[in-house]
Amino acid sequence: MRKTVPFILSVLMIINHLSAQNFSGPEKHRILSGDTTALLKVLVYTNALDMEVLGAVSQDIDPNDPLLPLLSRRMYLSMRDTANPGVGIAAPQVGINRNAIWIQRFDKSGSPFELYINPQILKASILSRKGGEGCLSVPEERGKLMRNYAIMVTYQLFDGGWHTEMLEDFSAVIFQHEYDHLQGILFPDRMRMQQNELALPLPEGVELFIRPTLN
């Protein structure tokens, strides 16, 4: 792992440098639309035009784009709308097919909300967990999905630097849910994909532990 991950990061940095672009004209128009201190409308799967965005694969964004901080603030407000608050949101859900997500980190003190730019999942545990999920873009619906219990992720912040860390349990679930949005996948789609997947339950009475890596 120590040799593989730095290599993967190097490749990702090269790819990002070549593919990351600034916002297009229509994207700028949407980000600047209406009251820029207010939330952006969340797209829903029942609207055919919304689904053209929700069902598309998103592209990397230049972390230095001057409108990215504004988009992130408006995404946050959309996610925390008191009428229907959530614990995560992806840029496609507000009409921007770019790789940026907010998630709540329940595995950190104070359960902070954090923004991830151009996120990638590098590794995922074989161990999975099954739990209920909902979505701001699929209102009034919930479903049970399998998600990897632990994932190693990399992402950028506004300074453009790459950061790598491990997420576990529900925080990992939220990250995977929002990462799916960047691939044009909604949770009902993921549920259908999992219908015929083989998943073996652990023997009854098995105790699970997470140990630090040993030298």
Positive/negative CA dihedral, 101, 108, 138, 128? positive
State yes or no: is 178 an active-site residue: yes
DSSP annotation of 59: B
* Backbone torsions φ then ψ of 10, nearest 5 degrees: -60, -45
- Contact (Cβ atoms closer than 8 angstroms) between residue 180 and residue 135: no
Q: How far is CA 16 from CA 61, 116, 146, 164, in A?
A: 8, 14, 29, 15
Residue of 123, 109, 139 lying closest to 172 (CA atoms): 123
Which candidate in 27, 52, 114, 178 is catalytic? 178
Find the angle CA(82)-CA(180)-CA(17) to the nearest 5 degrees. 105
Three-class SS state of 118? strand
Residues serving a catalytic function are 178
